[in-house]
Amino acid sequence: MKNFWTKGRIALLVIFAVLIVDQWIKVAVKTGMYWHESIDAIGWLYDKLGIRAEPPTWFYIFFTENNGMAFGMEIVGKLFLTSFRIVAVTVIGWFLYKFVRHGMKTGFIVCVALVLTGALGNIIDSVFYGVLFDESTHYSLATFLPEHGGYAPLFYGKVVDMFYFPIIDTYLPSWMPFVGGKHFVFFSPIFNFADAAISCGIIALLLFYSKYLNEAYQAVIKKE
């Protein structure tokens, strides 16, 4: 029982910490930036620190919103996607509880908690942001709880994204077949803190616990 409460507290700490950071960043961006406004994050930091050197230009805060999945991928209908996310989070939450209860490895529990919380963070946007905020535009900042109501019904809110890392931003050589002369950006997706939590959790699971996944699953299922 003591082990359960220790691992359970760790899982809850991860969940609350990631949720708070994710929502704080999103609300700050949503209410403090115009839609598609871009800030050179490293240049801003150089100014604050009084550094006079020319900053590298590979990290921007770029405010955008999407209806789709992680990294702005538009695949299925909005209501179906939000409903699917809620079901998925419920299933992952059930497994997380069982993993904690059965004393699985702490690192494994942290990874699952990261995936769960990342998905939950984007669900909050999808379910509530349309009601809580008005529309963000190129010319007006969004406000919290506007008098005239939000920009969309419940479950139809947009997910706020802001992290943009164009590590390589160039034009491909003209001699390259088919793509020569075209604009090329690596890494082009714009994502948020919740997306990062999901990605880090999944990558860590695959790197460090790939052999443990089936064992953990079987342990939970067989003991039920």
Render pLDDT for 53-66 as a digit per residue (tens, 0 to 9).
888 888 999 999 98
How far is it, in rounded angstroms, from Cα 36 to Cα 47?
Answer: 22
Report which DSSP code applies to 125. Answer: I
Strand pairing class (168-171; 38-40) = unpaired
Query: Domain coordinates of the chain in residue numbers?
Result: 2-223
pLDDT exceeds 60 at position 69:
no
- Residue 158 CA to chain centroid, in angstroms? 13
Q: Dig out the tokens for 158 from the structure.
A: 């947009």
Select the highest-mean-pLDDT range: 46-60, 133-147, 181-195: 133-147
Residue spans of alpha helices (H) in the chain: 2-32, 41-49, 78-101, 106-124, 130-132, 193-208, 210-223
pLDDT (0 to 100) of residue 106: 92
Task: Please give the average per-residue pLDDT across 95-111, as a whole number.
Answer: 91
Mean pLDDT in the chain?
88
Task: Please give the average per-residue pLDDT across 113-118, as a whole number.
Answer: 96
If one counts every other C-beta atom within 10 angstroms of the C-beta of residue 171, the result is 10
| Band of pLDDT at residue 223, cut at 50, 70 and 90 | low
Question: Which has more pLDDT, 78 or 195?
Answer: 195
Task: Please give the average per-residue pLDDT across 78-82, as a whole number.
Answer: 76
pLDDT (0 to 100) of residue 81: 77
Look up 134 and say whether it is catalytic. Answer: no
Instruction: Check residue 217 and give left, alpha or beta (phi > 0: left; psi -120 to 50: alpha).
Output: alpha
Question: Which has more pLDDT, 197 or 221?
Answer: 197
pLDDT (0 to 100) of residue 185: 80
Task: Please give the average per-residue pLDDT across 110-120, as a whole number.
Answer: 96
The one catalytic residue in 125, 134, 161, 169 is: 161
Question: Which has more pLDDT, 143 or 220?
Answer: 143
Look up 195 and say whether it is catalytic. Answer: yes
pLDDT > 70 in the chain, percent: 92
The one catalytic residue in 22, 125, 134, 195 is: 195
pLDDT (0 to 100) of residue 168: 83
| Band of pLDDT at residue 84, cut at 50, 70 and 90 | confident
In this structure, is the dihedral angle defined by the CA atoms of residues 213, 219, 220 and 222, taken in order, positive or negative? Answer: positive
pLDDT > 90 in the chain, percent: 58
Question: Which has more pLDDT, 187 or 9?
Answer: 9
pLDDT (0 to 100) of residue 71: 47
Task: Please give the average per-residue pLDDT across 162-188, as a whole number.
Answer: 85
Q: Dig out the tokens for 133 from the structure.
A: 């905020």
How far is it, in rounded angstroms, from Cα 154 to Cα 123?
Answer: 11
pLDDT (0 to 100) of residue 72: 46
